[in-house]
Amino acid sequence: MIAREIILASDNAYTLLSTIPLFLEINGNTINRKSSNNNSNFRRNIKMSKARVISMTLAMVLLLGIIPPSVQAQAANIPQVSYSGHVQSIGDIPAQSNGQVLGTTGRSLRLEEITVSTTVGQIRASGHVQSIGDTTDVIGSTVTIGTRGRALRLESIRLSLEGAPGYALRYKVHQAGSGWSLWFGNDQWAGSKGQSIRIEAIQIEVVSIPAIRYSGHVQGIGDVPAVSSPNTLGTTGQSRRLEEITLSTTVGHIRARGHVQSIGDTSEVKGSTVTIGTRGRALRLESVVLSLENAPGYVLRYRVHQAGSGWSRWFGDNQWAGSKGQSIRIEAIQVEVISQSLLATLAPTPSTPVTPPPSSNAPSANAQAVVNETMRWVGSRTLPDGRNASGLCQAFVYQMVYRALRTSRVDDSRRTALDAWHSWGVSTSSNNIPVGAAVYFRVTNPAGHVGIHVGNGNIVHAWTDGIRIQHLSTMPGTYLGWGWQAGFPL
């Protein structure tokens, strides 16, 4: 908006300045026009290019503060973040802003301290420092984490932006040995703990948080009012088909398609507001695929309530949710916006959506709680305790089950996946693996490997590149069987 208003001002300036030669021609006494050639030369010398006028207008905006009041008000509400630091062997380094790199890469120099400031709201920050551990949260318009003069590496950081409605921070760190991390969202740990790995550089930026709303058309009811993310649109337990969905976003645009009874896949639609499905034709919507674009740091995830099977698992950006060719209606949907780092490594979905087999039993409340917690961490490179997820598959399973159930019965006494398999394994069959079960594999690493079954044959597990989801058929190693964490059935 700000840039558009400045360009409009530039257009006005261009129009005004372009009339100068004409004015001088009309007032002939102000020019000595000896010939038409002289006049042409005069025009070439006086008349400015549009690009040059825009540049001059921007310069006047910056130097003279000629900004419309509405633009000033809007700009005042947009947080600007800046950050400076202290680097090994270099000392203090100048402040950077809005996504620029602070620190060094390729020089093996630790970043020891970071000071972060915002123009709107407050920053909440904490760090994990060599020999100190987690630091106490600090909060303010300017905050500092880390140390100086003590030769201690900063190993992990966690940041959030408060008091700035509609905006959030995202950040990534450059670590020794592994390079740049994923982007992390508000209040997520970026870096590692307990592995003596230094942070060498950081990028921080402010992003707009998209707000998603969606309305629909339901069998026997008609139009239903819009709800906001992640509320339920539609009905459950009433055997009513959801026939049409309209979605809108405040940031970026939505890309969407549907699979409709008797029609098949619909054409893709794209925009800040999109509609898929039909109305007035009594046709069920059977599957949907959604994605959010041009909203840095954020993606959509969604799930559908289907006739006969209930709520599906959560699907990520650009994955089909529902079924095709099975005449199963969607009855309700939930859509939400989440940080991209949580879904960055979602495996591609099959061309035809996978639906639970008819014999599948609905997961228990405990199992569903474990699945919900597990799906929240897909795409993260760290465990909830801040440690790098690589190589910590058994710790990941324990932390997911414990965080979901908060019971001491889910112990962490088995330090490797193979230990856990030998102690808590239940079955070597790959048929009808219960939702929430731990699934074990033999890999080249003698510790083995384990993940959590979240439904439809999909396994969430901690791998070398972070926490990812993939189908059982594509998992690394040899399948051993499934069991329950600590022998505690869900």
- pLDDT value at residue 219: 97
Q: Which residues of the chain have pLDDT under 70?
A: 1-76, 186, 317, 339-361, 407-415
| CA distance linking residue 292 with residue 315, whole number of Å | 13
| CA distance linking residue 159 with residue 184, whole number of Å | 9
Query: What is the SS3 assignment for 204-223?
Result: EEEEECCCEEEEEEECCCEE
pTM of the model: 0.52
- pLDDT value at residue 127: 95
Q: Are 488 and 410 in contact (CB under 8 A)?
A: yes
Domains of the chain plus CATH, in order, are: 2-76 (no CATH), 81-208 (no CATH), 212-341+348-355 (no CATH), 373-487 (3.90.1720.10)
| CA distance linking residue 284 with residue 438, whole number of Å | 36
| CA distance linking residue 62 with residue 65, whole number of Å | 6
**235 backbone dihedrals φ, ψ, rounded to 5°:** -135, 160
| CA distance linking residue 209 with residue 190, whole number of Å | 20
- pLDDT value at residue 414: 61
Q: Are 60 and 54 in contact (CB under 8 A)?
A: no
- pLDDT value at residue 141: 97
Preceding omega of 230 cis (within 30 degrees of 0): yes
Q: How far is CA 405 from CA 369, 370, 373, 426, in A?
A: 7, 7, 10, 20
* Closest to 258 in 3D by CA, of 293, 233, 283: 283
CB atoms within 10 A of CB 220: 9
| CA distance linking residue 244 with residue 237, whole number of Å | 19
